[in-house]
Amino acid sequence: MPLNTVFKDNLLQDKVAIITGGGTGIGLRTAREMAQLGCTVVLSSRKKENLDKAVALIEGEGGKALAVECNIRDEESIKACIDTVLKAYGKIDFLINNGGGQFPSPAEMISKKGWTAVIETNLTGTFFMSHEVFNRHMVKHGGAIVNVIANMFNGFPLMSHTGAARAGVENITRSLANEWGRYGVRVNAVAPGTIKSSGLDSYDPMYKEFIMGYSKNNQTYRLGTEAEVASSIVYLLTPGAAFITGVTLRVDGGESLYHPVFPHRKILPTIYTNNCSTFVMEFAAAYHLPKNYYEKNYAISISHTSGNGCACTVAAHQTVGI
């Protein structure tokens, strides 16, 4: 069944893309959309089983895909991956550095081994994938690179290792955009907020529940979707983004803007009533609120309009997290 996409058919026809971490989650959703738009997608990760399932899914949807095992922490493995792609297709138009990994931990409990593993995967791996693709193909033919990072703009509590790595990638994005622009290479980043993705399944249930609660910390009052991140990545690869390079697109529903002084509010729909004396009861009944709802972090605003009779508009907002 075709995916819903905002992009026109065949937009990426005959293009070739490498997507690290392409076997699951955001990487897979991005690969599926790109394949539907005519791009041949090369999925890479360390887990062959995930890659094979992903390729079967994409081919079942009518797309073209290739699985290549690659450990982005290993320079020789990266070189072998690029060898395979160039031998198979002769070019690399796009690179999506989506592969990565981390684990939740208080900063004081992270070991050197754990720190190094995350930095080598999320920062060093991203750099050397870009380095190899540029030197082997894009230096002569141009192209576009998108680095997938994270919302680490206010620090990254319990994930200080990946926060440091992702911040490094954002800086690399700007550096490479400067250095490689003269060769026709655009380099951008996408910073997802809290996304309802299969990647959450890798975390401990208690930590997963904690993450799911992040939905109250953005302006949309919900988690983002893999599809919303994928469409942002795809956009940065299209001709529509031809004049964009060195930027980080925050796909987070305003999560990175969160501030405790002005907490986000869940907006409830508007109720219309012609009877001012009963609007409170109607409001409470419509939203199944307790009788003392007005004491439970709800704010009500009323506006009156002149005319025939009374047209009283009731709008309510539930303040969350106070």
Please write the tens of the pLDDT for every residue from 234-247.
999 999 999 999 99
CB atoms within 10 A of CB 302: 14
Count up the domains in the chain and report the number: 2
What residues are paired with 65 via a beta bridge? 41
Lowest mean pLDDT among 123-127, 131-135, 260-264, 278-282: 278-282
- In the DSSP assignment, the letter for residue 76 is H
Please write the tens of the pLDDT for every residue from 89-99.
999 999 999 99
Of the three residues 236, 257, 278, the one that is the final residue of a domain is 257
Tell me, what's the pLDDT at 264? 58
Of residues 314 and 288, the one with the higher pLDDT is 288
- Measured distance CA(42)–CA(70) in Å, rounded: 11
Q: What is the mean pLDDT of residues 191-198?
A: 83
Whether residue 143 sits in one domain with residue 30: yes
- Measured distance CA(172)–CA(128) in Å, rounded: 11
Query: What's the pLDDT band for 77 if we cut at 50, 70, 90?
Result: very high
Please write the tens of the pLDDT for every residue from 134-151.
999 999 999 999 999 999
Whether residue 276 sits in one domain with residue 224: no
Angle among Cα 40, 56, 15 to the nearest 5 degrees reads 5
The residue assigned the tokens 């890798």 is 202
Angle among Cα 60, 63, 65 to the nearest 5 degrees reads 100
Whether residue 280 sits in one domain with residue 166: no
- pLDDT > 60? residue 100: yes
Whether residue 214 sits in one domain with residue 273: no
- Measured distance CA(116)–CA(134) in Å, rounded: 25
* Phi–psi pair at 37, nearest 5 degrees: -90, 5
Tell me, what's the pLDDT at 97? 98
Whether residue 306 sits in one domain with residue 230: no
Q: For all residues of the chain together, what is the average pLDDT? A: 83
- pLDDT > 70? residue 213: no
* CA distances in angstroms from 25 to 50, 229, 299, listed in the order given: 11, 10, 38
Query: What's the pLDDT band for 43 if we cut at 50, 70, 90?
Result: very high
Whether residue 276 sits in one domain with residue 247: no
Please write the tens of the pLDDT for every residue from 48-73.
999 999 999 999 999 999 999 999 99
- Measured distance CA(173)–CA(187) in Å, rounded: 6
Q: Take residue 162 and report the two structure tokens written for it.
A: 């990946």
Task: Calculate what percentage of the chain has a pLDDT beyond 70.
Answer: 74
Whether residue 80 sits in one domain with residue 57: yes
Domain region containing 295: 265-319
Determine the 3-state secondary structure of 180 from DSSP: helix
Residue 272 included in any domain: yes
**Amino acid at the residue 184:** G
Task: Calculate what percentage of the chain has a pLDDT beyond 90.
Answer: 62
Whether residue 251 sits in one domain with residue 276: no
Q: What is the mean pLDDT of residues 267-287?
A: 47
Q: Take residue 250 and report the two structure tokens written for it.
A: 């925050």
What would you report as the CA-atom Rg of the chain, rounded to the nearest whole angstrom?
24
Please write the tens of the pLDDT for every residue from 150-187.
999 989 888 899 999 999 999 999 999 999 999 999 99
**Amino acid at the residue 84:** T
> E strands of the chain, at which residues?
16-20, 40-45, 64-69, 94-97, 143-148, 185-192, 195-196, 224-225, 248-251, 265-267, 271-273, 298-305, 311-319
- Measured distance CA(52)–CA(66) in Å, rounded: 9
